[in-house]
């Protein structure tokens, strides 16, 4: 089969690899669509995310969807032909965290598209059949691939313990921030503030339902949100940026007693947090680690038309043009939000 392998930062090559075979309880999925994620971009640009560093070439991609073309032992062959969104990552299923339902933090998680585990930028993936979630015919493969970042957004909103009528700030209105804004809205957010350094992403925020989008390249985000909220701050502040500064901003724009959810990945091992601000306000700060149990609800929300993931997919490229797609996302060219590889 074909695959696109990362050999070194900014060095992606179209190569071939043996076709995988589905093992027990696995499905063989023909991949049709892979979304490029901010985390893929860290490997593409830096060859690492914090301490997780690439040592040998590997295949990127973990936001994917396709069609089941084969099944391993123990899986009903009637599933062949199903169009599915695939929840990436195979936890061990038996450790303390897995049995508690918190499988997203399983220490033995095998997550595709990171060092040591080839990802989905290839023709076939063998994955646990229970993580292959059927999607309706009306949902495009690119939309089905975007269920993955939507699952991240839903998990973020759940961690916030949002209540109807909450005010929200989303720092960083790239694809994840926009999906968080949409997820926050259906969770009852009454006013959503957004901020981004890229003017076209400020405009995208308004198009995705953000009520007040702040151009952080021109105005101070904290001042803008304080002005708009009469100095109170917001109930929930989400950090959805690839920045070392936004965790601190989230703490500053949250109201006393409010909640911060840190979802963005800066790529650094340590980022500054204003502990005095956080302590005096008595903030609850939570970190989002991917998702757990979110796929069925993400698919239901999109199927019901309550969240439109098409709003974040701005570009489509065939597999052989993957290097071009990464270069575009890396330079934030052509007003790109999410680039999708469709094949």
CA angle (338 as vertex; 213, 303 as ends), nearest 5:
90
Q: Is 198 in the site for Zn ion (CB under 5 A)?
A: no
* 120: exposed, middle or buried (Cβ count in 10 Å: 0-12, 13-18, 19+): buried
Please list every residue from 241 through 270 that binds Zn ion, using CB under 5 A: none
Number of residues in contact with Zn ion, rule: CB under 5 A? 7
Nearer to Zn ion, 281 or 311 (CB): 311
Nearest CA among 169, 140, 175 for reference residue 335: 175
CB of 31 to Zn ion, least distance (A): 15
Please list every residue from 6 through 25 that binds Zn ion, using CB under 5 A: none
Nearer to Zn ion, 283 or 339 (CB): 339
Nearest CA among 271, 206, 203, 277 for reference residue 242: 271
3-state secondary structure of 295: helix
Please list every residue from 87 through 126 that binds Zn ion, using CB under 5 A: 91-92, 95, 98, 106
Nearer to Zn ion, 21 or 108 (CB): 108
Please list every residue from 24 through 83 that binds Zn ion, using CB under 5 A: 37, 63
CB of 232 to Zn ion, least distance (A): 33
The pattern of x and - marking residues 204 through 243 that bind Zn ion according to CB under 5 A reads ----------------------------------------
CB of 257 to Zn ion, least distance (A): 31
The pattern of x and - marking residues 270 through 299 that bind Zn ion according to CB under 5 A reads ------------------------------
Strand partners, 125: 29
CB of 263 to Zn ion, least distance (A): 11
Number of H helices, E strands in the chain: 11, 18
Neighbouring residues of 40: CB distance < 8 A, sequence distance ≥ 6: 60, 61, 62, 113, 119, 326
CB of 281 to Zn ion, least distance (A): 30
Measured over the CA atoms of residue 99, residue 100, residue 103 and residue 106, the dihedral's sign is negative
Integer Cα distance of 152 and 195 in angstroms: 19
Nearer to Zn ion, 14 or 95 (CB): 95
CB of 81 to Zn ion, least distance (A): 27
Integer Cα distance of 1 and 15 in angstroms: 8
Nearer to Zn ion, 117 or 255 (CB): 117
Strand partners, 168: 192, 236
Binding site for Zn ion (CB under 5 A): 37, 63, 91-92, 95, 98, 106
């Amino acid at each position: 089969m074909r695959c696109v392998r990362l050999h070194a930062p900014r060095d992606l090559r179209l190569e071939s690899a043996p076709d995988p075979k589905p093992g027990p309880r696995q499905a063989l999925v023909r991949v049709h669509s892979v979304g490029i994620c901010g985390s893929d971009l860290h490997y593409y640009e830096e060859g690492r995310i914090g301490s997780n560093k690439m040592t040998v070439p590997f295949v990127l991609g973990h936001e994917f969807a396709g069609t089941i073309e084969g099944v391993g032992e123990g899986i009903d062959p009637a599933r062949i032909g199903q169009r599915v969104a695939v929840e990436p990552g195979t936890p061990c299923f038996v450790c303390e965290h897995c049995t508690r339902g918190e499988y997203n933090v399983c220490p033995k998680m095998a997550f595709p598209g990171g060092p040591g585990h080839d990802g989905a930028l290839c023709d076939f993936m063998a994955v646990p059949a229970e993580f292959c979630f059927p999607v309706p015919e009306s949902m495009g493969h690119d939309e089905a691939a975007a269920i993955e970042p939507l699952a991240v957004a839903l998990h973020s909103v759940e961690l916030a313990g949002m209540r109807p009528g909450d005010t929200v700030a989303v720092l960083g209105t790239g694809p994840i921030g926009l999906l968080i804004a949409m997820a926050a809205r259906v969770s009852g957010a009454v006013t959503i503030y957004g901020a981004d350094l890229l003017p076209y992403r400020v405009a995208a925020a308004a198009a995705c339902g953000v009520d007040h989008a702040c151009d952080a390249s021109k105005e101070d985000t904290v001042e803008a949100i304080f002005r708009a909220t009469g100095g109170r701050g917001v109930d929930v502040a989400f950090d959805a940026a690839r920045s070392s500064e936004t965790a601190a901003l989230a703490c500053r724009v949250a109201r006393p007693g409010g909640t911060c959810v840190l979802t963005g990945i800066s790529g650094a091992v340590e980022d500054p947090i204003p502990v005095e601000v956080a302590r005096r306000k008595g903030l609850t700060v939570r970190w989002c680690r991917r998702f757990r149990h979110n796929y069925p609800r993400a698919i239901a929300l999109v199927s019901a038309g309550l969240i439109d993931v098409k709003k974040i997919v701005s570009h489509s490229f065939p597999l052989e043009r993957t290097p071009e797609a990464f270069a575009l996302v890396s330079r934030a060219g052509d007003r790109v939000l999410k680039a999708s590889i469709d094949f």
